[in-house]
Chain A
Amino acid sequence: MGLLSLAIWTPIAFGIVLLALGRDEQARAVRWIALLGAVVSLLLTLPLYGQFDTASAAMQFVEKAPWIDRFNISYHLGLDGISFWFVLLTAFITVVVVIASWESITTRVNQYMGAFLILSGLLIGVFCALDGMLFYVFFEATLIPMYLIIGIWGGPNKIYAAFKFFLYTLLGSLLMLVALIYLYTQSGGSFDLSLWHALPLGRTPQTLLFFAFLAAFAVKVPMWPVHTWLPDVHVEAPTGGSAVLAAIMLKLGAYGFLRFSLPIAPDAAHAWAGLLIALSLVAVIYVGLVAMVQQDMKKLVAYSSVAHMGFVTLGFFIFSPLGVSGGLVQMIAHGFVSGAMFLSIGVLYDRVHSRQIDSYGGVVNTMPRFAAFALLFFMANCGLPGTAGFVGEWMVILGTVKFNFWVGMAAASALIFGAAYTLWMFKRVYLGPVANDDVKALTDINAREFVVLALLAVAVLWMGLDPKPFTDVMDASVAQLLSHVAVSKLN
């Protein structure tokens, strides 16, 4: 069994054991086994970093075995610079989420932890799959645990949110399924991604394929105007669910653009880049403004996620190395930062059971250590240099200015909105005098919460201060992708 298979199946195996054997009477043991599973899975992904050859753009750690002969579907895994960091990110966020949910989940703990571990394995599978159908199976299978997580442990309006999440994303991916089958028949009966990348396609098929993929990926990212599910879902999902959703699941869509849309339909991607850039700018500016007027902390961070992901898609569709690498860096940074933001909100919610901004005020007085962490994450969210949030946005803006000054200018102006809504929320929640008795009664974070936030803080600072290891891994693959996309498939 290769490293990637281990990374996928270890958390799933732990999850199945928890589902089968766990009982609420042994919640303590369940939590420790879940943590063990998550940590083991993370440790199993670390050798990948040591063995990854950053100079090569080829797929590495490749595993290939026939899976369904009838349709020529193979169990084909591999990593390149584009997918590499997401495997580690997923394993890391799972550890954080397991620790963060230690006390807040008290009922059906085994199902909760099991669902997260299985979800983690499936998400890693999505990033490793090099076979179109294997990708789709992992991509869709992630809906099942997430649906249950939102529906069982969510807030008061959880059922609406769970259905909206499932049906919205299913609609997009079903159209992608037809596109995948179409590619299968066009390529003479293969689901092999590298074969699809080389497949010549006419203008009309490319356009249709591009939009079928867009339906799946735009919903997942989510891009304006199909982003409306995200705030509703984030508000109702439990803290851990929100963190995984924002940190990893949103990345599936953006990753799909790089793996499917651009290399398979390069001409259509170029032809429709203007549309995608426009939608991204709307996400960055308009949704940023929408975030500013939110009263609910989770909703605010959800809208801010949409705006940040707008930077990612903007970077991808200007077809420059800076833009694509910047988009990828922004995805990883957003994984750390949005995860941290939702977990910070979770810390407050566990104590006060309110997500409204005006239920708080002056938290810094009663929770100074927590407020210090929160300040770091808020600064990262508005892109302060030295934090993870800065690197990606800066690269994308730089690339965009080269592409077109006015587009770059519009994107850069969004940084101001980002700073505005983030800092304003910080002021209203944390600063000022103690606002009410709830805040007065707050106790500062305990050791467990400290570990969670410290892990994320280290990641945020490390990526901000030394982004080179991140971009080094990507460079070769991004360059190869762009040179592939630059060549027209039309004759």
Chain B
Amino acid sequence: MIDANSSLTSYPEMVLMVMACVILMLDLAVKTPLRNATYGLTLLTLAVVALMEAAYASGGATYFGFGNMVVCDPMGNWLKCFAALATLVTLVYGRPYASQRDMLRGGEFFTLSLFALLGMFVMISGNHFLVIYMGLELLTLSSYALVALRRDHATATEAAMKYFVLGAMASGFLLYGMSMLYGATGSLEIGAVFKAIATGHIRHQVLVFGLVFVVAGLAFKLGVVPFHMWIPDVYQGAPTAITLMIGAAPKLAAFAIVMRLLVEGLLPLAIDWQQMLMVLAIGSLLVGNLAALAQTNVKRMLAFSTIAQMGFVLLGVMSGVVNGSTLYAANAYSSAMFYVVSYVLTTLAAFGVILLLSSEGFESEEIADFAGLNQYSPLYAAVMAVCMFSLAGIPPLVGFYAKLSVLQALVASGETAYLALAVFAVLMSLIGSFYYLRLIKVMYFDAPVTAAPVVASADVRVVLCINGALVLGLGLLPGGLMALCAQSIRQMLGT
């Protein structure tokens, strides 16, 4: 089972796990309130892991290890690299916030984040139902604990409870679906499942029955309608730093398991799951955008906006197979991947500004709290405005090219229904642009309630500026990231 390739596929995971344990131990000796030593070591670990993944990815090779249970391919490597970077950025933004809210009494904020990231890595590399499930559980269990980290805070505890109950149900769905597929195909390994289904000898009803549960479980993790109920409550209830932890990097992992399960494993059933995804996507675009209009809380508004944005990702995923032909598959899936990556990048910067404006005893959560930001902190207002325009899909920002890629994937299919769906999607993003614009209006057009300039430590300031500049810079020159997504998806599909 364990051969030379096995360790090759999982060096970054090993580094991550060992360092998570080391940091857990070392932290016992750390006494400073901001936990500088733990923080520094965590960032170092994340940077090293991200570099390792980038090196793997640019090597461009695909390895299988542990008896085909684990796969190491460029798509996974890039997603892991981005997830590590997103976690790093989250910790930079979140540390001052966490320390002001008594969440840094121990080093759990850092170690749990590392374990959550390890869970994402395992999900992304999983080539086996149980490996994927195991990674998912590691991620979600760490996330439940992170949400509950502020244990004497009523809404955070409530959010943790809600997250736990609904998350456990979703995991159950996924596991149930996987067991049905296992029963029908006799294998847990994704490649073998694909081959078994492709023979066409397996009863369709059983497969579809399993598929429904798998899709429901995935929809839960992505947070799309009608499995979205937990998203607004958890986003709003969790401490903002943790909201970012569960709202950014895990989307990359969720996208990866969608690719692994639905594309690598169940592509012969595409005609079935594409219809399901279409319904989910339409619902998400509709509910996410309309409900976001009515929100006064920024975190809740961004939660509904996430639902709508994930609807767009699904539009990309569902346009891969047209009339049984996989000619457009690479095009469609890479557009979805680009969408997820650019979404995570933008979300990080947007939450970075929210975290920055929150100070001790003041949660900058209401839209009104941003009033007049441009007058006392024009730089941070500009970063937030860039993020909002990007999420609304206005060029020349990265969010526009994400929408362009997905719309192009829909139109390229040549199906009239998909063309109509593209028109529907742009109309929904018109509605969406209203609530993004409203936040910009509050920042730029309204009079400020406070005149105290925002203070930020150097690390936060630098990372936030780079992050904002990337949203704009990738808007001016998106070609590199697009090519990277296209290349790694093509290799994943083996075309």
Q: Which residues of A contact B (CB under 8 A)?
A: 19, 66-71, 108, 111, 133, 136-137, 140-141, 143-144, 147-148, 151-152, 158-159, 162-163, 166-167, 170-171, 174-175, 177-178, 181-182, 184-185
Contact = CB atoms under 8 A, between A and B. Distances in A.
B86 to A, nearest CB: 23
A170 B429 CA distance: 10
B395 A68 contact: no
B426 A174 contact: yes
Interface in B376-397: 378, 382, 389, 394-396
B430 A174 contact: yes
A377 to B, nearest CB: 31
A166 B437 contact: yes
Interface of A is mostly: helix
B396 to A, nearest CB: 5
Given A178-B407, A178-B423, A166 B395 contact: no
Nearest to B482: A70
B11 interface: no
Given A137-B396, A141-B396, A70 B423 contact: no
Contact of A167 (B374, B430, B483): B430
Interface centre among B404, B422, B477 (most CB of A within 10 A): B404
10 contacts: A70-B483, A70-B486, A147-B437, A148-B440, A151-B444, A162-B445, A167-B434, A178-B419, A178-B426, A182-B419
Contacts of B389: 144
A371 to B, nearest CB: 35
Contacts of A163: 434, 437, 441
Contacts of B412: 185
B380 to A, nearest CB: 14
B403 to A, nearest CB: 8
B445 A158 contact: yes
B427 interface: yes
Nearest to B334: A70
Given A136-B395, A185-B411, 5 more contacts: A71-B408, A167-B433, A175-B423, A178-B422, A185-B408
Contacts of A70: 479, 482-483, 486
A140 B394 contact: yes
Interface in B441-466: 441, 444-445
B200 interface: no
B478 interface: yes
Nearest to A177: B426
Nearest to B438: A163
B310 to A, nearest CB: 20
Contacts of A158: 445
Interface in B474-488: 477-479, 482-483, 486
B478 A152 contact: no
Nearest to A212: B423
A67 B483 CA distance: 12
A66 to B, nearest CB: 8
A143 B394 contact: yes
A169 B430 CA distance: 10
A152 B381 CA distance: 13
Interface of B: 374-375, 378, 382, 389, 394-396, 400-401, 404-405, 407-408, 411-412, 414, 419, 422-423, 426-427, 429-430, 433-434, 437, 440-441, 444-445, 477-479, 482-483, 486
A423 to B, nearest CB: 38
Nearest to A66: B479
Interface of B is mostly: helix
Given A140-B394, A141-B396, A181 B437 contact: no
Contacts of B382: 19
A141 B404 contact: no
Contacts of A170: 394, 430, 433
B433 A175 contact: no
A355 to B, nearest CB: 20
A70 B484 CA distance: 10
A140 B407 CA distance: 17
A79 B422 CA distance: 33
Given A68-B478, A68-B482, A170-B433, A144 B411 contact: no
A71 B437 CA distance: 29
B433 A152 contact: no
A159 B389 CA distance: 17
B441 A151 contact: yes
A214 to B, nearest CB: 15
A159 B441 contact: yes
Contact of B394 (A66, A108, A141, A178): A141
B479 A67 contact: yes
Contacts of A184: 408, 411
Nearest to A137: B395
A19 to B, nearest CB: 8
B479 A69 contact: yes
A189 to B, nearest CB: 9
A162 B443 CA distance: 14
Nearest to A154: B445
A362 to B, nearest CB: 37
Contacts of B404: 71, 133, 177, 181
Contact of A140 (B395, B408, B478): B395
B479 A68 contact: yes
Interface centre among B389, B400, B441, B477 (most CB of A within 10 A): B441
A181 B444 contact: no
Q: Which 9 A-B pairs have the closest CB atoms?
A: A174-B426, A70-B482, A137-B395, A68-B479, A151-B445, A181-B411, A140-B395, A185-B412, A181-B408
Given A68-B479, A151-B444, A181 B434 contact: no
Contacts of B434: 163, 167
A108 B448 CA distance: 14
A163 B478 CA distance: 28
A70 B374 CA distance: 36
Nearest to B475: A137
Contact of A159 (B426, B430, B433, B445): B445
Contacts of A185: 408, 411-412, 414
Nearest to A67: B479
Contacts of B426: 174-175, 177-178
Nearest to B411: A181
Nearest to B487: A70
A469 to B, nearest CB: 34
B407 A181 contact: yes
B109 to A, nearest CB: 34
